[in-house]
Amino acid sequence: MYDIITIGSATRDVFLLSKNFKTLLSGSGFGKKFEIKKAVFSTGGGSTNAATTFSRQGLKTAALFKTGSDESADYILDKIKKEKIISLAVKDKNKGSDYSTILLDSSGERTVLVHYGASSDLKISDIHFGKIKSKWAYIAPGDISFETIEKILSNLHKNKTFVAFNPSKKFIEMGLKKLKPLLDKTEVLILNLEEGSALTGISRKKEKEIFKKLDRAEKGIVVMTNGRKGVVVSDGKNIYHAGILGGRVIDRTGAGDAFGSGFVAGLIRKNSIEYAIRLGSANATSVVGKIGAKEGILTKSDFEKSGRWKNFPIKMVKA
């Protein structure tokens, strides 16, 4: 029995740092040679990013995802092994692993070039449901099919596993009515304001209306982040508002995964929304201060020894 299992994508990433990418992306740079200041090799994907948080927070963690049978798969699996994550990876002989090239400028903004490989092709027949017995599950589905995710959620629900769901763009675009059967089996729904607007069909300028509609649709906890404005969380009884922690932003890649997984880790460890917000915020702040989605992920010791997070202000009002 795992404390938590993560389900979603896994990628091999390379980050390229240069001041000249704007020229390249404008089109005037094609056919020329550009100097890269630095290249950083890493891994990404919702499943492995979240699993790294959970493992570093001392939870017995497994990760389910699909890769190709290639060098990138070996690289990904080696990295998660070093994080003490139990791999439930499925290998595809016909497709390559997911791969991303991230063009990063000095402001922390990035352009991502993505090759979607085997991750999105996770099938029901690939999954040994007897191996995914866990107290919690964190699902970041990426481009996995609705049918596969629905089957996984039904199995988890039957086994009384608590589920945190961080829907991807593909699932957001299905709309609230289509996702309702999934949300009925979900304890924690995690998304950002833009996703909340798209899912509910309400303008992002009407944040309160978006949040109220999501709160009615989700029986458990709703988490909605809003960039530099922070986060709003509801458990149906109380609404929690928090800002962000200041700090240098080097790379925003993985910030959403870091907050979502940090929040759920905090909820598992303390069963406290305020603690969960603090851990999620601290984790995201640390991640954007490093290059890559995993380099800045906090360990349990990192979080507990730093007094910086303890006084992070959170406002609570009745729902």
Q: What tens digit of pLDDT does each residue of 290-310 get? A: 999 999 999 999 998 887 787
Quote the number of domains for the chain.
1
H or E, element range at 312: none
Domain that holds residue 217: 2-24+36-318
In the predicted structure, residue 43 carries a pLDDT above the cut 60: yes
What pLDDT, on the 0 to 100 scale, is given for residue 246? 76
- The CATH number given to whatever domain includes residue 176 is 3.40.1190.20
- What digits encode the pLDDT tens for the residues 258-292? 999 999 999 999 999 999 999 999 999 999 999 99
Nearest C-alpha neighbor of 85 from the set 33, 47, 111: 47
Residue 116 lies in a domain: yes
40, with CB counted inside 10 A (0-12, 13-18, 19+), is middle
In the predicted structure, residue 142 carries a pLDDT above the cut 60: yes
Taking all residues of the chain, what is their mean pLDDT, rounded to a whole number? 91
Residue 30 lies in a domain: no
17 residue type, one letter: L
Residue 259 lies in a domain: yes
Tokens for 110?
A: 């990035």
Residue 83 lies in a domain: yes
Phi first, then psi, for residue 148 (nearest 5°) are: -65, -45
Average pLDDT over residues 46-59: 97
What pLDDT, on the 0 to 100 scale, is given for residue 30? 65
Residue 312 lies in a domain: yes
What pLDDT, on the 0 to 100 scale, is given for residue 26? 63
Residue 31 lies in a domain: no
